[in-house]
Chains A and B, each alone.
Chain A
């Protein structure tokens, strides 16, 4: 291929128009509440011969944040290491035999056991899932091994800039509310007793507290029968609800500097409390965030990456936990442009609060959110993730079907109002993780500075 072919006509200088938008077939859900209180959601997705399931319990690390931080997480990781009839090795070999992966973890609001594997083994996979959820034996040896792994993992996390930034910001934003705690201290892990894990498991891994979502290559009728057969004999009450104190209100900017000696970058993370998905402003703030820093083509990325070259992956996010949400801005920058980056972050925030976005930005962001939302149903993993948002957050049944229309209905005034309400530039809490000697003077330009070490102690 050494002879160039001849160019016969000019290349079109503008992009072709979009064709007509094709309808999205939203996942068709079969929803049941079993007599024992367990919620079940089934969705057929038959393109690939596999199934994906998540069994959620509506209790996570928040319910133990004041008694034994991180207990929900270690309970999940030890629960998968043995049952009344299966050793750790047998569990892992059973999974492999069925081409499956199992995950067990806990976040702030929920604990979850997930399983995905080959569709023809779906009944055995569900039985294994139920075994881990109901009959975990918490072997002493595995508990001690997991405890040691957690301790070593924590030590490494406390050398990781984005972990340290997130840990500090959550402390600042949530104060005495349990969402303040993202990880335990080493001494708290050392103090866990095996009986505490068993107690957490007994109280919270119960059908009345459970939501099972199953997506995959199956027929709904027979699969529902299997689910009922496997789970309906399980009886236990739901745990009592807890009430927590409200997070603090902050007045004025404040800088929280976490000293990480030898750091060649500053990890910036700043933010403020915002709203949950059930707030009427939710769609507006999602759209405002997308224009501000939530997409590749957003103002923040254009400014501090594509114009100034300060950072590789700046972003902003709207984070929704069950009781509260919060808005965050992230950027890892070379030390000498720490103050310059903060200036631009606040400038772009203030611009969102001061002036309506342009028609082109509005239209582009609405199309972006609408399109990306529909991409989310093209894989089992994506569909499961969307469904878990709907059913864990108890959103309206038509959330998926109406999302795109709600986004398309928003105006520039909606974006401006949401930015004014939820991008709290004047009272933003600023966390900087980096080498104090490199950045302390820059930090002081943005408010009073409180310094911490990586363990969270004031210095």
Chain B
């Protein structure tokens, strides 16, 4: 396969802000992002959902751009924007015609230096966030499955195990002081990376970055909280009631090896052998061959997580199969990869697909109107987590070099009951599985 080379230049301002630039003149747009290294994993205790609520507040006004002004300016410049809260990062990003680059930096720098919000903004966004939780979780079949269901069962350490969308009581308890304290603690240039991609001149982009961000003061960051899990000694199980959906569902999660460890690369390839779409062993056997499952989803978040995480299989199964029978069929797939090494004849095509998916992600990754979102996302994670944006061009080599023996070793080491958690969603409409 033709190897892709992404041009990347980067620097660090005196205040610690990392700046990463990648020129690409194929179309007259730029994608700009600011990633802060704070996600829902490290939100304050007693304030579940706060990191996400805070993300909403970042659109509510800064010193020179009042409420809705960020959104108005980006839309009126011909662009689209969004922000998302993740385990270990929160991001703010926009794609605009390339003549709006400098304006985007003015906006992002304004809200990095000054969050100007009031109680009314907080009340308003708390209401909006509650409707977000209702529409995505409480009023949807399989809402929150499994991303909200599995962590409290799989993990014991609060940062990994709490409700990331937030209990409504905790959202109600959040105050404006909490908002400003969170901003002062984590939204500091030395805890962030600025990314600029697309139709731009790198030298000019660096000048803009310095012009708007250079005098934002750095703050001492709190020591990184301990997010490690104590060793697990037995399989963990949980159950959640499914209020609307008609099929029983299972989520099976195995905790994966730490980011960038040797095992991590092999685990990511093993994940694609098992999942990896309709050719993957889980879909082929459970949906196509045994016809136990109606739908399969899942996999491992490879690049954008920096702490305990799982390879998760979601199985929506026919009600005439019990949970136990379904888990039994799944376990047979697991036994096969534990007992017998997977040959290069199967790994080679899996690696081709891995590389193809990586390129697709770099090109788009969030719909047709946010070009190079994936490139931005991966560059940000390689910068913040690994200190090395150039990994964008080298990281694939380590996945491509994974051997059958290494895959076999991680299967034996990690695909064990003492390393997994299972959550069942049981439809109230169907009663017990027939």
Footprint of B on A, CB under 8 Å?
Answer: 1-9, 11-25, 45, 47-50, 88-89, 92-93, 95-101, 116-120, 145, 148-149, 152-153, 155-156, 159-161, 217, 262-265, 295-297, 302, 305-313, 332-334, 363-365, 367-368, 370-372, 374-382, 385
Footprint of A on B, CB under 8 Å?
Answer: 1-2, 4, 14-16, 24, 26-29, 63-65, 67-68, 71-73, 75-81, 95-103, 106-107, 109-110, 113, 123-132, 134-135, 138-142, 190, 198-199, 212, 214-220, 243-247, 276-279, 284, 287-288, 291, 294-295, 316, 318, 349-350, 352-353, 355-357, 359-360, 362-364, 368-372
Instruction: Point out the residues of chain A lying under 8 angstroms from B24, CB to CB.
Output: 47
Pairwise interchain contact A264-B218, C-beta atoms closer than 8 A = no
Pairwise interchain contact B28-A24, C-beta atoms closer than 8 A = yes
A17–B76 alpha-carbon span in the complex (Å)? 12
Instruction: Point out the residues of chain B lying under 8 angstroms from A15, CB to CB.
Output: 64-65, 73, 103, 106-107
Pairwise interchain contact A296-B98, C-beta atoms closer than 8 A = no
Instruction: Point out the residues of chain B lying under 8 angstroms from A309, CB to CB.
Output: 123-128, 131
A23–B28 alpha-carbon span in the complex (Å)? 7
User: Which chain B residue shows the least CB distance to A364?
Assistant: B76
Select the residue from B71, B95, B98 with max chain A CB neighbours within 10 A. Answer: B71
Pairwise interchain contact B294-A264, C-beta atoms closer than 8 A = no
Known: A11-B110, A50-B360, A120-B1. A376 touches B369 (CB 8 A): yes
Pairwise interchain contact A7-B78, C-beta atoms closer than 8 A = no
Pairwise interchain contact A371-B77, C-beta atoms closer than 8 A = yes
User: Which chain A residue shows the least CB distance to B371?
Assistant: A378
Minimum CB–CB distance from A199 to chain B (whole Å) comes to 25
Pairwise interchain contact B75-A368, C-beta atoms closer than 8 A = yes
Pairwise interchain contact A313-B78, C-beta atoms closer than 8 A = no
Pairwise interchain contact B277-A89, C-beta atoms closer than 8 A = no
Instruction: Point out the residues of chain B lying under 8 angstroms from A264, CB to CB.
Output: 134, 138-139
Select the residue from A45, A156, A310 with max chain B CB neighbours within 10 A. Answer: A156
A306–B131 alpha-carbon span in the complex (Å)? 12
**5 tightest A-B contacts by CB?**
A371-B78, A99-B356, A309-B127, A382-B368, A4-B217
Of A9, A149, A155, A297, which contacts B75 at CB under 8 A? Answer: A297
Instruction: Point out the residues of chain A lying under 8 angstroms from B123, CB to CB.
Output: 309
Instruction: Point out the residues of chain B lying under 8 angstroms from A311, CB to CB.
Output: 128, 131, 135
Pairwise interchain contact B284-A367, C-beta atoms closer than 8 A = no
Instruction: Point out the residues of chain B lying under 8 angstroms from A101, CB to CB.
Output: 277
A sample of 28 cross-chain residue pairs with beta-carbon separation below 8 angstroms, ordered by A number, consists of A2-B220, A4-B218, A8-B215, A11-B212, A14-B64, A15-B73, A18-B100, A19-B102, A22-B97, A22-B98, A50-B356, A50-B359, A50-B363, A145-B287, A152-B318, A153-B295, A160-B140, A161-B139, A265-B138, A265-B139, A297-B72, A309-B131, A312-B131, A332-B131, A368-B75, A371-B97, A374-B27, A377-B27
A148–B220 alpha-carbon span in the complex (Å)? 58
A308–B120 alpha-carbon span in the complex (Å)? 10
User: Which chain B residue shows the least CB distance to A99?
Assistant: B356
Known: A1-B15, A264-B139. A16 touches B103 (CB 8 A): yes
Instruction: Point out the residues of chain A lying under 8 angstroms from B369, CB to CB.
Output: 372, 375-376, 382
